[in-house]
């Protein structure tokens, strides 16, 4: 909990500002234990991207509306820009990097590939994680279930049709996506 000080320079003047006390946070990310000292205000998405280097989780807005930052927290999808890193203490986090196993795409990723479920790909990690959570909750969803379940995830390329097709295909090919597969 060391208090730190930092010198910030703005133009020609320099100002000393007090940094918030760091807090220790421990969690499991993609099966690996992680422990770091972080600023209390650090968002989980920035912890994942900047501290752990897991840049598959994207930031697409600053209004908690796009879902590009979606990860699984204890198996449930959350927008990681709405959670502080310290709030993820003792949880099990899965990011898009945690889905593929031994070089094999996760069934949802494979369904995206086969159904052309991505264009620029920016929304894709968040979509895949949201679908992983959705299929865990509803293993045999209707198209309507999927569209409603993905309401919090935006695709700026507007490729929703094929995203929904991919989700349906993933559900059909793997009625249960099973534990340990991130979904
Ligand atoms: S970056 Fe989290 S919802 Fe947009
Ligand atoms: S594929 Fe481009 S944002 Fe969805």
Question: Residue 92: CB partners within 8 Å, gap ≥ 6?
Answer: 27, 28, 73, 74, 75
Question: Residue 122: CB partners within 8 Å, gap ≥ 6?
Answer: 58, 60, 68, 156, 157
- Record the tokens describing residue 118, joined without a space: 């991505």
Per-residue model confidence (pLDDT) at position 62 = 86
Whole-number Å distance between alpha carbons of 19 and 7: 10
106, 99 contact by CB (below 8 A):
yes
List residues near ligand 1 (CB under 6 A).
59-61, 64-69, 79, 81
Whole-number Å distance between alpha carbons of 154 and 67: 6
Per-residue model confidence (pLDDT) at position 112 = 98
pLDDT tens by residue, 55-106: 999 999 989 999 999 999 999 999 999 999 999 999 999 999 999 999 999 9
Ligand 2 atom closest to Cα of residue 60: 3
Residues of the chain with pLDDT under 70: 1-19, 174-183
Percent of the chain whose predicted confidence (pLDDT) is above 70: 84
What's the predicted TM-score (pTM) here?
A: 0.86
Whole-number Å distance between alpha carbons of 104 and 124: 17
Which ligand sits nearest to residue 83's alpha carbon? 1
The radius of gyration of the chain from alpha carbons, rounded to an integer in Å, stands at: 18
Which one, of 172, 29, 30, 173, lies nearest residue 101 by Cα? 30
Ligand 1 atom closest to Cα of residue 79: 2
CA dihedral 174, 177, 181, 183 (to 10 degrees): 130
Whole-number Å distance between alpha carbons of 32 and 27: 8
- Record the tokens describing residue 170, joined without a space: 């993933």
List residues near ligand 2 (CB under 6 A).
118-124, 155-157, 159
Which ligand sits nearest to residue 69's alpha carbon? 1
Question: Residue 144: CB partners within 8 Å, gap ≥ 6?
Answer: none
């Amino acid at each position: 909990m060391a208090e730190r000080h930092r010198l910030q320079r703005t133009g020609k003047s320099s100002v000393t500002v007090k940094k918030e006390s760091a807090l220790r946070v421990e969690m499991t990310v993609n099966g690996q234990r992680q422990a770091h000292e972080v600023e209390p205000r650090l968002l989980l998405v920035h912890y994942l991207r900047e501290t752990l280097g897991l840049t598959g989780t994207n930031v697409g807005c600053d209004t908690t509306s796009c879902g590009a930052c979606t990860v699984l927290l204890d198996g449930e999808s959350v927008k990681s820009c709405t959670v502080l890193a310290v709030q993820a203490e003792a949880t099990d986090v899965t990011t898009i990097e945690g889905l593929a196993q031994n070089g094999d795409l996760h069934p949802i990723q494979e369904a995206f590939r086969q159904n052309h479920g991505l264009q620029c790909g920016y929304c894709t990690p968040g979509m895949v994680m949201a679908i992983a959570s959705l299929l865990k909750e509803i293993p045999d969803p209707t198209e309507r279930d999927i569209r409603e379940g993905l309401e919090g995830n935006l695709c700026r390329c507007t490729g929703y049709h094929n995203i929904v097709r991919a989700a349906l295909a993933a559900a059909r090919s793997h009625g249960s996506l099973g534990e340990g597969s991130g979904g």
